[in-house]
Structure 1
Amino acid sequence: MNDITIQYDEMVQNALLSVVRDILQQTAKEGLPGDHHFYITFRTDNSDVKIPPYLRERYPDEMTIVLQNQFWDLLADDKHFEISLSFNRKKEHLYVPFSALIGFFDPSVDFGLHFHNNEVDVMEEDTEFPGIEQDDGATISDLVQKQDDQKAGEKSGDDGDNVVTLDSFRKK
């Protein structure tokens, strides 16, 4: 008998990454349909990630971006995606290899993927969402939905902070 084992975990991770790649490729061609929007969390300390130095300094380990209303130049191939987003009203270009992804979530349909990364495991059930009242039985998607609801209230004129902090996705 042979000592080689099938690497199921790696195969599943590759399949899940292909789902994100397909979604981003479709979005690049056709835009976001309906109410869909994406939270994408990635490792900023991955050597192949290309982001402006001030963002890497501010987010030395990981960063979550939101693809919703304003994004430009989305491109996705087999190995990475590129996108331009506005940070403090300045358009910045990001280059993210799929190997750096640790999370993908579309709250409009309560769909999320979590990628295993040897360096970090994020978005566990004990994840804290600052500024969001948390119920003991609340799931991650419930908390993200509360954040979305809070932001929707802010857009309608309520006072509040409309920034999603990375702390809400970090393991404590």
Structure 2
Amino acid sequence: MSRSIDYGNLMHRAMRGLIQEVLTEVRDNGLPGAHHFFITFDTTHPDAKLADWLKERYPAEMTVVMQHWYDNLEVTDDGFSITLNFGDAPETLYVPYDSIQTFVDPSVEFGLRFETQDSDDTDDDDDDPSDPASLEVEPEKTEADVVSLDSFRK
């Protein structure tokens, strides 16, 4: 068995670091200009924390919007917590970076999508070097729709 560099996991870690850096900047200075974020995360992640009624309403994943009103943004090395308003009901969420599935800033057509990877797979026979990495940086089409770069490949 040959060892190899796990570029997919290295890219995931780097892009989660980018999210941490962006959120730290927002925590310290607020959202600049028209910037706002759509963040989709896995609500079943063992470290994700959200109100029971939100977990019941979003049993698999949830997309939150950081735009006009948010409060108590705290950023750590493992995730972030934030208070958001859900129909006049402020709720605090904790989102681990590992639970994030998409991070989109439509104001500048920037988006990241994280595909789930089984870290237990040490020798995956399905690996194809011609396949794109499981992390895609994507332009946005309209509103929160994310377009895959694969659609532009010949």
Partner of residue 96, structure 2:
97
- Answer yes or no: is the 8 Å Cα contact 2:110–2:139 preserved in 1: no
* Residue 5 (str. 1) matches residue 4 (str. 2): yes
- Answer yes or no: is the 8 Å Cα contact 1:74–1:82 preserved in 2: yes
Q: Distance in 2 between matches of 1:145 and 1:42?
A: 15
Partner of residue 85, structure 1:
84
1:1-172 superposed matches below 5 A: 3-118=2-117, 141-144=140-143
**TM-score, length-scaled by structure 1:** 0.69
CA apart distance, 1:140:
7.3
CA apart distance, 1:118:
3.9
CA apart distance, 1:143:
3.1
CA apart distance, 1:141:
1.9
Instruction: State the percentage of identical aligned residues.
Output: 38
How many residue pairs get aligned? The number is 127
Partner of residue 136, structure 1:
none
Higher strand share: 2
- Answer yes or no: is the 8 Å Cα contact 2:38–2:144 preserved in 1: no
Consecutive unaligned residues of structure 1, counting only runs of 5 or more, are: 125-138, 147-172
Q: CA RMSD in A?
A: 2.0
- Structure 1 stretches of 4+ with a deviation exceeding 3 A read none
Q: Distance in 2 between matches of 1:62 and 1:118?
A: 17
Partner of residue 150, structure 1:
none
Higher helix share: 1
**TM-score, length-scaled by structure 2:** 0.77
- Answer yes or no: is the 8 Å Cα contact 1:13–1:116 preserved in 2: no
Q: Distance in 2 between matches of 1:140 and 1:23?
A: 18
CA displacement, residues 23-72 of structure 1 (integer Å, 9 cap, x when unaligned): 00110000000000000000001111000000000000000000000000
Structure 1: which amino acid aligns with 2:16?
A: L
Consecutive unaligned residues of structure 2, counting only runs of 5 or more, are: 119-135, 146-154
Structure 2: which amino acid aligns with 1:29?
A: D
Q: Distance in 2 between matches of 1:145 and 1:92?
A: 23
